Structure 1
Amino acid sequence: MTKRLSANETRRAISRFGIERSLLEAFGYADEMVRHRYAFHRHTKHQLLSPQAGVVMVETADALHVVSPGQAAWIPAGVRHATTVGDAPAYTLFFPAVKFPSPVESLRILPAGSLLRELLIAGTTAEKAPATVRHSLFTLLHHTCIEALKNPAQPALRRPQSANLGRAVDYLLQNLETATPALLARHAGASERTLRRHFQMELGVSPERYIQQARLTKAMQLLMNRQPFRTVVEVALEVGYSNHSAFSAAFRKFTGRSPVEFRAGEFPSFRTD
């Protein structure tokens, strides 16, 4: 079970890790606190985050992002976010904004190839290295991230800003197995026709497409969880697919890999078409 930290507990954890200890210091560590959720917070430094295994879920005001071991999240300084860590520790690095400018203002998911992966690991163990070595390492890390940020942004599960649509999406995320456009409309206090119009205007997709994206996003998380372990069929049923073949086909279209391949550790960019 995931432990949800309160705002005060999150602040204490951040203080314990020493994240804000020096505005001019870049550093990293492996966050050993597994199966927990940090409440919404922000940092004065840019953050680079990547799970050692499993997935990390990062929420912002307008989207939910899934970060796999083959990826990393670049979180610019000042961006409010909540982070849910799964069954394995996560690599976390921090870059002083005054020394390492960010070319983007919102959270972005980066591909974490072999070079970035090795640099991430090195960054979490460089605490006792000479200052010049640490500076060179984090400068290289920063340049590597800058290059990765030139790639198109990876789609995320967008969150609505309006209260009515927000209630519908909150209901959906708690009832993935049984949610339908009609039930979402009821919780939004609107007709199905009005709901469809609002989904298209605010989120750019139909309710059916959004439900599918939410189910597949949750499936990615469940597939990578170790405790409790679920078979692919169990995951499919839990997120609302009664047909295993239909689930596998939809998952492959969304991620570029079958559920079995995804669980085995191959993580390409996600698709929305």
Structure 2
Amino acid sequence: MTKHLSAKETEKAISKFGIERSLIEAFGYSDEMVRHRYAFHRHTKHQLLSPQAGVVMVETADALHVVSALQAAWIPAGVRHATTIGEAPAYTLFFPAAKFRTPVESLHVLPAGSLLRELLMAGTATRKVPSAVRQSLFTLLHYTCVQALKNPAQPSLPRPRSAALSKAVDQLLQTLETASPASLARHAGVSERTLRRYFRSELALSPERYIQQARLTKAMQLLMDRRHVRSVIDVALEVGYSNHSAFSAAFRKFTGRSPVEFRTGEFSPSAMG
């Protein structure tokens, strides 16, 4: 079970790492707070975050991002976010905004290939190395991220802002397998026609398309669950798909990879573009 930290508990947990105390130095550490959710917060430094296994979930004001161990989240300084660490620790690295520019202004999930993974591991073990060595490593890390950030962002699930639509989405995330526009409308206390208008005006999606994206976002999380390993068909059934081929086709369209490729970190020729 995940423990949800309050805003005060989050501030206390983060302060012990000294993130904001150093205005110049870049540094990293292994976040061992597994199965914990940090409340919404922001940093004065850019953050690079990647789970050592499984996934971390990162929420912003307008989206929910699933970050697998084969990916990393670049979080620019000042972006409010809430982070849920999964079953494994996470690599967490910080870059002073005054020294390291960010080519994007919002959270961006990027692929973490073998080079970036090695750099992430090295970056979390630099507190006791000479400053010049640490800065050289983080300069290379930053350059690698900037190059990766030129690629399209990984898919995320947009989050609503209005109370009525937030109620509908909260219900959806709890009933993925059986959710329908009609059931979401009942939970939100509006007509299905009104619900459809809300989805269109606020998220530019139909309820059906949003339900599909929510199911596929959950599937991304389940496929990378190392504690409870499921087959692809079991994942499909758990998120509401009764047909393996339909699930695989929808998943590939959403992520650019098949479920097996996503789980193993492999890329098909079509996914590579």
TM-score, normalised by the number of residues in structure 2: 0.91
| Structure 1 residue 165 corresponds to structure 2 residue 168 | no
> CA 1:256/1:150 → structure 2, altered by over 3 Å: closer, same or farther?
closer
Correspondence for 1:77: 77
Question: Is the 1:70–1:267 Cα contact (8 Å) retained in structure 2?
Answer: no
**Any residues of structure 2 matched to 1:1-273 within 5 Å, and which?**
1-266=1-266
Deviation at 1:180, TM superposition (A): 0.3
Larger deviation: 208-217 or 227-236? Answer: 227-236
Q: Deviations over 1:83-103 (max 9, x none)?
A: 111222211100111221222
Taking the aligned partners of 2:84 and 2:133, their CA distance within structure 1 comes to 32
Question: Is the 2:155–2:255 Cα contact (8 Å) retained in structure 1?
Answer: no
Deviation at 1:221, TM superposition (A): 0.8
Percent of pairs with identical residues: 80
> CA 1:77/1:221 → structure 2, altered by over 3 Å: closer, same or farther?
same
Taking the aligned partners of 2:6 and 2:27, their CA distance within structure 1 comes to 25
- 1:88 alignment partner AA: A
Taking the aligned partners of 2:3 and 2:233, their CA distance within structure 1 comes to 26
Report the secondary structure of 1:12's partner residue: helix
- 2:182 alignment partner AA: A
Question: Is the 1:70–1:266 Cα contact (8 Å) retained in structure 2?
Answer: no
Larger deviation: 227-236 or 107-116? Answer: 227-236
Larger deviation: 104-113 or 56-65? Answer: 104-113
Taking the aligned partners of 2:226 and 2:123, their CA distance within structure 1 comes to 26
- 1:145 alignment partner AA: C
Larger deviation: 51-60 or 9-18? Answer: 9-18
RMSD: 2.0
Q: Deviations over 1:199-241 (max 9, x none)?
A: 1222121111110110111111112113333333332232122
- 1:113 alignment partner AA: G
Which segments of structure 1 move beyond 6 Å, counting only runs of 4 or more?
Answer: none
Question: Is the 1:56–1:66 Cα contact (8 Å) retained in structure 2?
Answer: yes
TM-score, normalised by the number of residues in structure 1: 0.91
Taking the aligned partners of 1:193 and 1:27, their CA distance within structure 2 comes to 51
Taking the aligned partners of 2:249 and 2:148, their CA distance within structure 1 comes to 29
Deviation at 1:60, TM superposition (A): 0.4
- 2:113 alignment partner AA: G
- 2:148 alignment partner AA: A
Q: Deviations over 1:113-171 (max 9, x none)?
A: 23222221211111121111111111222222222222233331000111211111111
- 1:24 alignment partner AA: I
Report the secondary structure of 1:67's partner residue: strand
Taking the aligned partners of 1:103 and 1:52, their CA distance within structure 2 comes to 25
- 2:127 alignment partner AA: E
> CA 1:4/1:144 → structure 2, altered by over 3 Å: closer, same or farther?
same
Unaligned 5+ runs, structure 2: none
Question: Is the 2:53–2:226 Cα contact (8 Å) retained in structure 1?
Answer: no
Deviation at 1:267, TM superposition (A): 6.7
Report the secondary structure of 1:171's partner residue: helix
Question: Is the 1:43–1:78 Cα contact (8 Å) retained in structure 2?
Answer: yes
Report the secondary structure of 2:218's partner residue: helix
Taking the aligned partners of 1:142 and 1:229, their CA distance within structure 2 comes to 33
Unaligned 5+ runs, structure 1: none
Length, aligned pairs only: 269
Report the secondary structure of 1:145's partner residue: helix
